[in-house]
């Protein structure tokens, strides 16, 4: 009963490096999204998807890319990491729309030095 | 930037006290949601509100969807130690969920 799985749990990057944060869900949910959480800022939406092949920008998309080639997976790519991207990243999924319960992964804590 | 104003930012209360927090927005939302986040975990849904004026309870938690669809409140009665955490309001509009900045609840021994 995995739910939403994020990998890795922790990551340290050097400025300028690229990497992909993985998110997979096994609930056949159509809706998936990525958030970043910073102290005092709550959860800010980076990118979201309402189904395979469909993605859109959220509140803070700059510096991040996403793709949704399958229903299950929604990877988040950092093209050239910057210290401002140090944060905790959460992936979430929901069945038909965000009116139903969104299930969150346990988060990826990223530090960019 | 953030479209939801959540208050208070933090609360320090004694065990057994009631808690009240609220969320306001300049925009209308179709659904209001309240989540709780424990340390090191992702947020978990507490209550979902779908209609203006709706009042919903979940155990010791009660939440209401404001008549104007621009605000919501969450009450916790008779707080217990496991209520400690961060509470987020969230609004659903245009296929997106927008979160407030959270209310951090501390319970004094």
Over the stretch A22-69, which tens digit does the pLDDT of each residue have?
Answer: 999 999 999 999 999 998 788 999 999 999 999 999 989 999 999 999
Instruction: Report CB contact under 8 Å: B31, A99.
Output: yes
Q: DSSP letters along B29-96, please?
A: -SEEEEEEE-TTS--EEEEEE-STT-EEEETTEEEEE-TTSSEEEEEE-S--GGG-EEEEEEEEETTE
Question: CA-to-CA distance for B66 and A39, rounded, in angstroms?
Answer: 28
For residue B38, the chain A residues in CB contact (below 8 A) are none
Instruction: Report CB contact under 8 Å: A50, B95.
Output: yes
Nearest to A42 among B41, B88, B96 (CB): B88
A99 falls in which pLDDT band (50, 70, 90)?
low
The rounded Cα A73 to chain-centroid distance in angstroms is 10
For residue A59, the chain B residues in CB contact (below 8 A) are 1, 98
Over the stretch B25-75, which tens digit does the pLDDT of each residue have?
Answer: 998 988 999 999 998 899 999 999 999 999 999 999 999 999 999 999 999
Give the pLDDT of residue B14.
Answer: 96
Token code pair at residue A63: 């510096």
Query: Which has the closest alpha carbon to B10: A104, A42, A106?
Result: A42
Question: Where does residue B39 rank: exposed (0-12), middle (13-18), buried (19+ CB within 10 A)?
Answer: exposed
């Amino acid at each position: 009963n995995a739910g939403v799985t994020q990998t890795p749990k922790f990551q340290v990057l050097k400025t300028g490096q690229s990497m992909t944060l993985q998110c997979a869900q096994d609930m056949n949910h159509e809706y998936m999204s990525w958030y970043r959480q910073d102290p005092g800022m709550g959860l800010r939406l980076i990118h979201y998807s309402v189904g395979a092949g469909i993605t859109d920008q959220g509140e803070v998309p700059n510096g991040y890319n996403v793709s949704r080639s399958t229903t299950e997976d929604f990877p988040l790519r950092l093209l050239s990491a910057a210290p401002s991207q140090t944060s905790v990243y959460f992936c979430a999924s929901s069945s038909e729309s965000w009116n139903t319960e969104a299930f969150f992964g346990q988060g990826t804590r990223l530090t960019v030095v | 930037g953030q479209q939801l104003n959540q208050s208070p930012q933090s609360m320090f209360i004694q065990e057994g006290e009631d808690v009240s927090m609220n969320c306001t927005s300049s925009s209308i939302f179709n659904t209001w949601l309240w989540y709780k986040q424990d340390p090191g975990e992702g947020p978990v849904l507490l209550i979902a509100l779908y209609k203006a004026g709706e009042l919903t309870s979940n155990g010791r938690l009660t939440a209401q969807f404001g008549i104007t669809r621009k605000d919501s409140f969450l009450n916790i009665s008779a707080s217990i130690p496991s209520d400690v955490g961060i509470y987020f309001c969230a609004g659903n509009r245009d296929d997106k969920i927008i979160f407030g900045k959270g209310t951090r609840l501390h319970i004094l021994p």
